[in-house]
Amino acid sequence: MAPHAISRFGRRLLIVFASWMLVSTVTAQTGTDTLTSQRAAFKQAYAAASQGGDSWRALATGLENYPLYPYLQAASLEHDIQLIDRPAVEAYLRQYPDLIPADDLRRHFLQELARRQDWDNFLAMYQPGLGDALTCDALQAKVESGAPLDFNKDLASLWTEATLPSACDPVLQAAHDQGLLTPARLWARIDIAADAGKGGTISNLAKWLPPDDSQVAQRLALALNDPATAVNAAANWPNTARSQQAATLALVRLARRQSITADTAWQTLQERFSFAPTQRDSILNALAVFHATDYDTDALNRLINLPASAQTDVSREWRVRVALAEQNWQAVLAAIDAMPPDQQQNDEWLYFRARALSELGRSSEAQNAYAVAAEQSSYFGYLAADHQGTSYALCVQQPVIDPQGEQAVLAIPGMQRAFELFAVDMIKQARREWSQALANVDPPTLRQAVNLADQRGWYDRAIVTFNNGPGLRYYTLRFPLARQDGLVAQAEQAGIDPSWAYGILRQESAWMSDAQSGADARGLMQLLPSTAAEVARRNGLPWDGADSLYDPTVNIELGTRYLAQLAGRFNGAPWLTSAAYNAGAGRASQWVDARGALPPDLFVASIPFKETREYVARVMYYSVIYDWRLHGSAAPMSTRMTPIGQPYSRLESQDPRKGITCPAPASAAPASSAPATATSAPVSSTASPNRVPATDKAH
């Protein structure tokens, strides 16, 4: 073919391709514009539907095929729940039988029917499996119809619960009136409540026991609710099995709060009561562990001399922690050697074994032990690598992107709803649709779903999904950067390390922008509204109220300033400030006053609260991962672990940084003593200084 012919042919191809690209671009843009307008229209219609009535219908014109259309009528019905009748609800249930809003509507309408005491309609619509409250409502409907209760059929499953909702009260009263709550059955449930620490349940059940038995049961309730009063009263209790049970509960509870007082009471009560061996072991264990968390002078000897039958993993690890706090390195090795083999293999104890060997001058053994610990991708693994001067272990994988698999995910109606709910900021509902749609899918489908979520900025899906096994190696998904939220710039302006700020954010909320704690801490960095308002005032930043904390940009701007403010109290040390962020600055200062001379790794290991110890370890580990994500290498963890009292300064650009390597497959598992944040809770359970300080020692 002649050269000019080829040129004409090539030009024709280019023209055709260009035309196709133009059409495709216009079509895609049109589709995007349509979806954007649908989302805007849905938001307007949903706001109207949430006010009740039918005004939403005019605003929803053209949305009939939009995936979230069923949410509109459900919102209207939910608002008018006290006004609507059964046919209106059943019509919706028939139209959308398998949707989450239909399940919610049925549940809420049943609650309304119970409130109305419209038992005929209630029973007509009731389905089992809707929770204990509605189960009890159904039983009340049965009672109201005149039918007798059958304990085995109606109450046996409820009877195993340590607590029941108030809706069950009239049912239990009816069961009592029918003679079904025999003393044996009452004591069986009292024991369940005692094991669960539910003194209120015991008090409620005690009223149905004979007078003498009722008094005995109330001793159990007192032991749980007011252990100090109980141990004082126990001096006058008879030496019976139930009194021994109550005294045991009281002593164990009191040891957690006041170990010295509990110890004094034990000296008296062990002579009065014939405690069973298991009860004695339980008391001795609690006294030893909580004397240890209080770092009493005799704590180490108590733990060493604790009978074997009274030892637990917790008591054995506290034997190590007390020895570390005393820097008694021979005792550290002896305590680790006293652990079961599987407990010894925890990377924390691998690291501290190496640390002890090094302090004892056994350098060759120490280096070998450090090498084993350094194979772990974890806080302790990285501390060990710093001692060795080696790279950090990090085996990074990327899930394979399968376009066909992604399309299959997008074809799932529940996933269409989930992604649209996320797009219109109905995040809690989006998570519910996600969970229902992917409940039984295979791992490849789940991976494609997470990829799609990540592309949309729905970052917490990877954190929740890839929290064990091979998924731990998807580090780029599990540790998103989300630059659009401005964290790097805000951290720099606040004068703190962005990698550390990312680590705090990741631990606090797992990237759930709508996270809200029981103490009302909100958003990505879990700020209390009162704290955020004060930070805004101090820094001259705008403050638009508590709900603004759900805006990632606002939350990060205020959160980084608060973190910088807190760091100023602790010489800027990231590790110590992290402890203060979790447990409260006041409590962190108390620990510094008591053990401020300890090296940072020993100080962290000796923190009395398990939650705070693990919080610091996770944040420091996450900071390294984020440093790698931002720069391709990481500042040594040891540079973040400055001794107490020594000012912290960030690594300069010319300072050495740590590389990342993946150990040989035989020795490198995707393990971490700093695992992903808890999955089931959309709200962080940690207790930051702008929330409620942690109070649970040792556990």
Give 59-67's long-range contacts (Cβ < 8 A, gap of 24+). Answer: 62/38, 63/38, 66/38, 66/42, 66/420, 67/413, 67/416, 67/417, 67/420
Taking the CA atoms of residue 96, residue 97, residue 103 and residue 108 in that order, the dihedral angle to the nearest 10 degrees is 70
Look at strands 392-393 and 660-661 and give their pairing.
parallel
99 contacts 114 by C-beta, under 8 angstroms: no
Tokens of 39: 């989302």
How far is the C-alpha of 154 from the C-alpha of 131, rounded, in Å? 14
Which segments of 241-298 does DSSP mark as H helices, in order? 241-257, 259-272, 277-293
Nearest to 640 by CA among 624, 618, 628, 656: 624
513 contacts 498 by C-beta, under 8 angstroms: no
| Catalytic entry in 348, 420, 508, 611 | 508
Q: What DSSP element (H or E) covers 330? A: helix 329-337
144 contacts 138 by C-beta, under 8 angstroms: no
State whether residue 664 is helix, strand or coil: coil
Nearest to 119 by CA among 93, 99, 147: 147
How far is the C-alpha of 682 from the C-alpha of 510, rounded, in Å? 8
How far is the C-alpha of 640 from the C-alpha of 575, rounded, in Å? 7
State whether residue 697 is helix, strand or coil: strand
492 counts as catalytic: no
Taking the CA atoms of residue 505, residue 508, residue 512 and residue 517 in that order, the dihedral angle to the nearest 10 degrees is -140
Catalytic residue numbers?
508
